[in-house]
A and B are shown apart, each in its own frame.
Chain A
């Protein structure tokens, strides 16, 4: 059994329920636990980097669409100051999304050294 983001069992994603308007967007959205399970599969198949990405994805699975889009934008070159990136990392820490926060901090340090901050 796989649970959707909403908690619904994926086996319940049937045409009948579609017809009855019983399904909504969170019923066809991946659950963070599923991403963690996929991370373990990736690890077992010799790709720890893919596993790490799926674990960051598991964190972002809980983050609303607009915030995800904003996070991407903040990491584009010359968009954010060091302080803004640190604030972003702190907010990710409290989400909690510590793996993503760590990536943002790592980026901030590299951006500082390479002149990629705003």
Chain B
């Protein structure tokens, strides 16, 4: 054992960031973000329109990934041009807004995995942000939610799905702790989403074959748990090959189901199969493969392996570079920010922020709209705990991260309707019978721990019934209709109709609330520098700006009025005092008129009572005078001191800031000051009173100390201060002399 570190280091060790694992770069284990020594040199050789060598491997040695990429994923008509470009030259095109997105897409179609990985590795963080702004497929950003719970409770799933829809998520992904529950979860989330908003895409992430079955049945409208890996060995360990995935892609589309694949750094490392390659290169193979398979999109940016990337130098940058590769290959990007990659709020914000700022087809490929403990994918990078933070960040930067503030009453209404609709539909379809108490609990529940202890067999039986009866979304729509939920039934029917049109099979498709498809085809990203590209509509900007916590002067006026009393009665113009034991308490112009309560929560009367009691303890007499000519605390206090027989005065602003003044001091000087109004207590006001009394008697009291806090006290109160000052200012009048106030009990 070495010597114990000094306190400063012990203190630093205790911070949450040190719960995270940090690893030395180790290419042998694949613990390297970009540019591993054994990443292949980019190369391509084309003979008779056929790729016969790619990234240093000859056709005869192609593994199944190479084979599929070489045969289907490379545009041989531009390959030689693109591969001939210098890496830096190509990288610069990503951030040169005079070069259209389409030109980069054209060139990248001819790049090999090694080439594209090298090019995006050259982009610095700010350049990645700009590249993402320019290269994402869809103009309008959006976001995806996880909706799950530990119990697979249908009523809670429905209520939470409706909630997620109300907060603006356009895709909802559920999954199960118990595989066999999956069909029930799909039905419950579909019901909740239909209550919440038109056009919500729903998926249930489970083992590939079962997910496909649910897609074909019409129980879900998209799929994304179609995993790709960067090496053949890891692919086979996952019980798939690139070709089986290609069949899966066609199978989903054959039933009008939207689909994206899932990949991302770290998966190969965790399975011990990184083969000395960098994370970015392996992911570049996945992205090339995704394009070759003909899927419309990719969820990457380190999904389950995000923290593996986060453990190595430049790992977070690598995650974002993965997303940019997807965009450069003209695919929908669902940009990670999925599994929680750090215990530190600072690090997880740092990881996400550039993507939020740039905007993405889906900023999160799974924002946990439920609480962390209920997320059956594991805690997300962002969770129900963080929805208000997200909304605030959107507002701070004026960017669209896909979410909006939902009216609290509307959330309550939607949760009730969703839970009741789910209960009614389950009953109608003979799946389960839930009682009123269960509905009530689901409506109010923050998470499944608030549900009590429901019988798990109920869900399992419901799920088995769904599966064995071959029930699909059409039957669910019919049940909603029969149970009186006509709007939700119509919305679900519209989603089924959309499946017949197939427009949402195009790249990066979502539905807006008018059921219009927004995609690469209908809403292409046209960013070409400042003044171009996506800008929120005025309505959308209002949604971003109007968070429910925002307050104005009128809110504060209303709050203050609730504390109004008749206790302070004006009794005429204040006169000059002569009693040497007299201390005058001066209050600001709004006090007793429109300001009644200080920032600490004490009323002005309560504060005055403490000051008066303190003065009485010292045997002093006191008068209260309202100063009308100014709201400046120093001048209020000095005016009081000048009226006071002792020459000592106390100044008190309506917000609670207080000081002791003396008639011969300049206005901005004082004897003692409480500047931290929000945290001044009764006891401290009492001390201010006694000290003023001692000053009046010519003593030198121990100064009262301002209370201490490490909280962001200014962030908390500054908006109230501004409003309080506005209220006080309404009563400032140069023409009105100080007036005496009587406390009427």
Q: Which residues of A contact B (CB under 8 A)?
A: 2-5, 10, 13-15, 18-19, 21, 23-25, 27-31, 34-35, 37-38, 41-42, 45-54, 56-61, 63, 65, 68-69, 71-73, 75-78, 100, 103-104, 106-107, 110-111, 114, 116
Residue of A nearest to B232 (CB): A114
Do B72 and A49 touch across chains, with their CB atoms under 8 A apart?
yes
Do A106 and B71 touch across chains, with their CB atoms under 8 A apart?
yes
Interface residue from A30, A41, A54 paired with B521 (Cβ < 8 Å): A41
Chain B residues with CB under 8 A of A65: 213, 216-217
Do A77 and B505 touch across chains, with their CB atoms under 8 A apart?
no
Within 8 A of A (CB), among B237-273: 239-241, 243-244, 246-256
Do A46 and B109 touch across chains, with their CB atoms under 8 A apart?
yes
Residue of A nearest to B210 (CB): A69
Chain A residues with CB under 8 A of B241: 75-77, 107, 111, 116
Whether B296 sits at the interface, judged by CB under 8 Å, is yes
Do A75 and B102 touch across chains, with their CB atoms under 8 A apart?
no
- Given A53-B295, A116-B241, 13 further pairs, Cβ under 8 A: A18-B493, A30-B499, A34-B502, A35-B253, A47-B507, A52-B72, A56-B246, A56-B254, A77-B235, A78-B236, A110-B243, A114-B232, A116-B64
The interface residues of chain B, by DSSP majority, are classed as: helix
Chain B residues with CB under 8 A of A69: 209, 212-213, 216, 251
Within 8 A of A (CB), among B428-482: 472-474, 477-478, 481
Do B250 and A56 touch across chains, with their CB atoms under 8 A apart?
yes
**Given A50-B295, A53-B295, A28 contacting B209 (CB threshold 8 A):** no
Q: Which residues of B contact A (CB under 8 A)?
A: 62-64, 67-68, 71-73, 75, 102, 105-106, 109, 208-209, 212-213, 216-218, 232, 235-236, 239-241, 243-244, 246-256, 291-296, 330-331, 472-474, 477-478, 481, 486, 489-490, 493, 496-497, 499-503, 505-507, 520-521
5 contacting pairs across A/B (C-beta < 8 A): A2-B502, A15-B486, A45-B520, A47-B330, A72-B248
Q: How far is the CB of A12 from chain B (nearest CB, A)?
A: 10
Do A72 and B247 touch across chains, with their CB atoms under 8 A apart?
yes
Do A38 and B506 touch across chains, with their CB atoms under 8 A apart?
yes
A5 to B474, CA, bound (A): 15
Residue of B nearest to A17 (CB): B493
Do A29 and B243 touch across chains, with their CB atoms under 8 A apart?
no
A71 to B239, CA, bound (A): 15
A103 to B246, CA, bound (A): 9
A2 to B505, CA, bound (A): 15
A110 to B507, CA, bound (A): 29
Do B73 and A49 touch across chains, with their CB atoms under 8 A apart?
yes
**Given A29-B255, A106-B71, A114 contacting B63 (CB threshold 8 A):** yes
Chain B residues with CB under 8 A of A68: 212, 216, 251, 254
Residue of B nearest to A73 (CB): B209
Chain B residues with CB under 8 A of A104: 243
A20 to B654, CA, bound (A): 68
Do A10 and B497 touch across chains, with their CB atoms under 8 A apart?
yes
